[in-house]
Structure 1
Amino acid sequence: MYMPAAFNENRPEVLHGLIRAYPLGSLVSHSNQGLTADHIPMLMLPANATHPQGRLIAHVARANPVWQQQGEVMVIFQGPHAYITPAWYEEKQQSGAVVPTYNYAVVHVHGKLQTVDDKTDFLHILEQLTDHFEAQRSRPWRVSDAPADYIQTLMEMIVGIEIPVERITGKWKTSQNKSVQNRSNIAAGLREQNDSAAQALAHITEQQLFGA
């Protein structure tokens, strides 16, 4: 990924935070037909002594050959993104020497995909995923709410996977190469948009601007 120094984001807590907020990962791997991409909701587990950069967990259909891929994979997590109009730049009124751009936040995770064969460990992955995605509900659904034999039958149709993180990079393109006034204008302009992605990008822009 092309990475101008101004756009580099390397704080683990920020990178992990984006993955938690935008958990649908695009898993890019090599297949017999060349590069392939699978879109899979994932959970980033915190770093520990065994996995110092964290670990992604997920599950896929057993019929999906991605779990049989060997070697390194890359998972892309796309955060908020939005078009940036020249109307928000000071130069628009001063000289007109300005053009549009497109801002975004994205995380790339690299590691080797592994399957989880132990049934107890696999069930724990399913429970962690479910608890994470149900956490905002007033009455969260639990895996244990379904009959145990039903869950065991479904587990035969899916495969647990994990990706210990070997390398993680983040690119926060929020016009850091522009003036403070332009960046403030951009954040304010995004705030005025009736769009959740623009609102989220405004928040990230303000965090970058004020050093949060």
Structure 2
Amino acid sequence: MLDRTMRAALSGPLDAAAAALDRPGITPDRLTVAGLVLALASAGAAAAQWWVVAAVLWLLSRVADGLDGTLARRRRAEGDGGESEAGGFLDIAADFIAYGAGVFGVAWGATAAFGIPWWPFLLVLLTYYVNGTAFLAFSSIAERTGRRLDDGRSLSFLGRIAEGTETIIVHALWLLLPFWAGWIALAWALFVGVSAVQRVVVGYRLLR
């Protein structure tokens, strides 16, 4: 829901940062891997109940995740697009791992620290699973049938009310307010569940 607005707002700073990072030793794929490592470190810190550290690492990981695509587009514009397809695959795989690990890490830490039950976090993972299935299936079939939705990203992104921006905010929120993590997870699962239904319905209609 907020991705298009945030991408427009952050395009200038991200472009400037990508220009500063545009050096031979820095590639979009390496930024993707760095973002994934930071996200996994954030999940580990959450499991250890180092909440502020986990939040900082999470936000840094998402900055790296934003910079990899920006740097890739910059290099494609300069005629260097060798990593674009493989990089797009690596990026979406890293995102799914980062989101899943983030849920697991906060669930582990919040359960141990505050006695919060696991099931709200399991609901979040279930809705992530349904969203991911609808998103990837639509992108694959849309590509094969010539109905690709091109917004500059590697895959046809079927946007709904729960997108990347909302996910970043919620993951940061339950790291900053871990004693409310169960309630945040429950509300987020409902929100993502509605988004999953929307993606299934809209994806089906677009491909008919």
Q: What range describes the TM-score normalised by the shorter chain of this pair?
A: under 0.3
Which protein is richer in helix relative to its size? 2
TM-score (normalised: structure 1): 0.23
Which protein is richer in strand relative to its size? 1
Computing the radius of gyration from Cα coordinates, the structure with the larger value is 1
TM-score (normalised: structure 2): 0.23
